[in-house]
Amino acid sequence: MSALLDAPWYARSVVDGRTSERVAFEEDVLALADDVWRVARRLGRDVTEAEDLVQETYARAIRAWHSYESGTNLRAWLLRILHNLAIDQARKRQRSPEPEPLEEGDYYLYNRLEASGADAIDRLIDQLSQGPLLAALGALPVIFKEVVVLVDLGDFSYQEAADVLEVPIGTVMSRLHRGRRALKKALADGSVPA
């Protein structure tokens, strides 16, 4: 019990009236707060929206904790709840379906940079600073953004991302390709002279 006495005041109260399994589950989901936050921060439009998303995710997770199958991927289970919330939110915000970014051919950026001279990519790499990168990511439609966030920020495998998003692995790959391409296009449009 010394661990409990050493714990901060807010941690000490959690055992009241709850089974040890439930308390263990709470500790496991709380240990994933940074992972959930990083995804929510990119899916929400600002800090407040991200905080609301995370709180609602945890509220739902705790309500549904019995449906979590012990030993399966808890991070994916938790992020699936967040994904469903974010998709609902995006639908409410915008009644029409998500636009598909970039109708140009696959080699848009390649051709564009090639036409701009050999050092165009070097210039682009030099300019990969926080502001434009976050703006470009933020501007992606949510279905592309969340794949990029899961794979590129969360280091999820294609299969894990497919589990979170409940889509086939091929859909993950094509959304990832389109999402990254849209990101590069936004960055190139901002830094490569037309």
Residue numbers at the binding site for another protein (CB under 8 A)? 10-11, 13-14, 16-19, 22, 26, 29-30, 33-34, 36-38, 41-42, 51, 54-55, 58-59, 62-66, 106-107, 109-110, 113-114, 118, 121-122, 124-125, 128, 130, 133-134, 137, 148-149, 151-153, 158, 173, 176-177, 180, 183-184, 187
Closest CA to 124 of 183, 188, 180: 188
Q: In this complex, which beta carbon is closest to another protein, that of residue 42 or of residue 83?
A: 42
Any long-range contacts for 174-178 (C-beta under 8 Å, 24+ apart)?
175/143, 175/144, 175/147, 176/147, 176/148, 176/151, 178/100, 178/101, 178/102, 178/144
Q: Of 41 and 75, which CB lies nearer to another protein in the complex structure? A: 41
* Residue 45 identity (one-letter amino acid): R
Q: Pick between residue 76 and residue 187 the one whose CB is nearest to another protein.
A: 187
Rounded Cα distance between 193 and 17, Å, is 64
C-alpha neighbours within 13 Å on the C-beta side of residue 185: 17
Kindly state the smallest distance separating residue 189's Cβ from another protein, in Å. Answer: 14
For residue 73, the minimal CB distance to another protein (Å) is 19
Measured from the CB atom, the residue of 65 and 80 that comes closer to another protein is 65
Q: How far is the CB of 152 from another protein (least distance, A)?
A: 5
What distance in Å separates the CA atoms of residue 127 and residue 7, rounded to the nearest whole number?
45
Residue entry with tokens 């502001």? 131
CB count in 10 Å sphere of residue 167: 15
Nearest residue (CB) to another protein, 10 versus 97? 10
Q: How far is the CB of 158 from another protein (least distance, A)?
A: 7
Q: How far is the CB of 119 from another protein (least distance, A)?
A: 9
Whichever of 17 and 97 has its CB closer to another protein, that residue is 17
Q: How far is the CB of 116 from another protein (least distance, A)?
A: 12
Amino acid at 146: E
Single-letter residue type at 157: S
